[in-house]
A and B are shown apart, each in its own frame.
Chain A
């Protein structure tokens, strides 16, 4: 069991893997999610859904660190934003196809994650959070200064291009399917990582790091690898977002974006595999549909934060899972 104050979801007795490493309940939830992804663009506005999927992937990447290694990064905007900038630059200036551009975004995130993570993982808890924040601020400074980012105007009119040079993505539906595919790959990747032997070691580090060390695991290496994977995926999400919207701007590197991804994971449920997805959906929907309420958006967002911390610490998915006595 996790410590009462820990950042993990409730752990139930280890269930048998049902399919693809999912438990039965997780598998059902996964099917429901895939069904929603396939059906929803016929009912809901695809651009909105694409945005949601980009942020869901970002939140999943973030959750890999906080939910399964217990590290709260307060600087994930750096990887998300720089991934977006480089992918945008690659697609617009270097003329790469979108999938290559997105991969470049991921690579940038990973490299940045390697450099920052190498330093940050030496510290724990609040110090870890602060050191990641410090580096993210430096990355922001770089983004403001570097000429290729276009300052606060950002990189504009990034072409969506053609997938593999063949499939034209300028229609929203085509772009949507590509976004959905990338999201699902990323989602399954996180799931696979978490349920691999590597993931088991990560969780043991979260629960009791000295013990993991005493068992002979080089915990720093594990943490660093998890950090790089998380940052790389965040970079992919950022790259995907700039291809979808055709823009890459400072908002995505600013520290409030780091706060937002914490909010998404918290609302959805930390350390649950579906939590970040649900959390991202809730927050993005709010941003879109509360736009009418003007200044109340900030108040409502704050209230949700407070409510989650006081009453629903497990998050939406965590609470549902707890209620059904299953792990989601």
Chain B
């Protein structure tokens, strides 16, 4: 049986969702018989393969210009896109920044903080620019929503197992939580 190709990436995120993926423990090792990890933050391929993957997974909110590119590339290269975790699903804790003026927030971080000496706001062309924080579905179409901060390993396992077996996952009970 050919393995199901999966790609993952993170946006403005904390890596908690990725840790919850690892929290599948031995079940993750078993899943690896059925899925092939392509680009992920824990492997060394940097972008989803050009010829596409079946499942794309994004965690984190969109809050800078680099995130926009990552989201669009993932959508173009995957058949089924999963928004993993509260930040990807509805913006999550990252949206708290939206209640403040961006320049004031940057000034606090890089100039006014008590320990900062002679600060400046980083603005090199090498860096992405911050934008209003949004969930993934404000940029591209999302096929599967998996909320939680982070979603439990059980919920992630359920979703991946259903997809591997050719069904669209439905979340109910303990697997559907928003914290």
Is the A/B pair a real complex?
no
A interface vs B, CB < 8 Å?
none
